Structure 1
């Protein structure tokens, strides 16, 4: 076997080209994975903070929908002429010059039953101030309505919307629903759902209508 002499240069060990490129490729791949993880984390944290800072938005309720369908405050109240429970007719036009509280109801409606005592008290307290409370019953027969009136001792006028036309004209798609009409026939307040004595008297007070001294 030939042995190199001391005068012959010794060549450095040779490495294959594949071995030279293997380590930089893994380094580059690991770096890209690390950068991607940082980017995903940053995006996730940003979205989390944005969602956390947003105020919760409740879903619209059925009451919100019905309120949106009600007649607009400040518009002229639609005219109606309806038969009364006790005979004769009643129309909104004949009451021009007086404030009118128009309440749509039915005997089967539990919230309607709960608000009737408050409506009766308001009708009695403000009768001397010119206020007229009208209860418009929806689509029920006279005997059923009469029994309800006796049960609650109602003394204000009860009108009968036998075909539902007046309710549709007044955009009543759920009951109870109540409107306060001023002396000029303009709608000043609308309630979707049962009223309370306090809510009605507050609305009347805003119009300058107060109970007459006893």
Structure 2
């Protein structure tokens, strides 16, 4: 009788190990939805903002192309320096890329300053207005410019803080 108890325990232990091994394999091969967050590989937080043209833009609207979400301000010299580079990038890769410039409107004197800045430089990519700074806080923007590079599924490919050349942008976008 003592021997039978050991056999039952052994069978239960083996059964448990087989179950756990099977679960581990199933969990490892199960396709996972990326976590929301601000690390490379994560899905960044969704947002909805008004653009300078009066439309509404969300991250979902630009899914399917690579996306460059650039946080900037008119009074930021490095931001101003990279804007023409962003325009060239958008012009050369318009079928596969969306440049979305998120203006820190709460840090501007007026919306007219933003409109004038964009018009004077003939910039044609969409400019979203972060009127209350909420999106900038969500994206942990502590310096300008800060850029998030997203893949076609909306996951973060790369993050950059500071001005970039067109070549650097292409490299970070994996174009």
TM-score by length of 1: 0.61
Matched, 1:149 2:104: no
Unmatched tracts of structure 2, length 5 or more: 1-36
Structural mapping, 1:107-186, within 5 Å: 107-128=74-95, 130-138=96-104, 139=106, 140=108, 141-186=110-155
Q: Deviations over 1:168-199 (max 9, x none)?
A: 10111111000111111100011011111010
Once the two structures are superposed, residues 121-141 of structure 1 have per-residue CA deviations (whole angstroms, 9 ceiling, x without a partner) of 00111102x210000000233
Distance 1:83 1:203 in 2: 27
Bigger share in strand = 2
Structure 1 runs (4+) deviating above 4 angstroms are none
Number of equivalenced pairs: 136
The higher radius of gyration belongs to 1
Give the match's secondary structure for 1:162. Answer: coil
Structure 1 residue runs of 5 or longer lacking an equivalent are 1-69, 210-214
RMSD: 1.3
- Helix, strand or coil at the partner of 2:103: strand
Q: Which residue of structure 2 lines up, in the alignment, with residue 196 of structure 1?
A: 165
1:73 pairs with one of 40, 48, 55: 40
How far apart are residue 71 of structure 1 and its match? 2.6
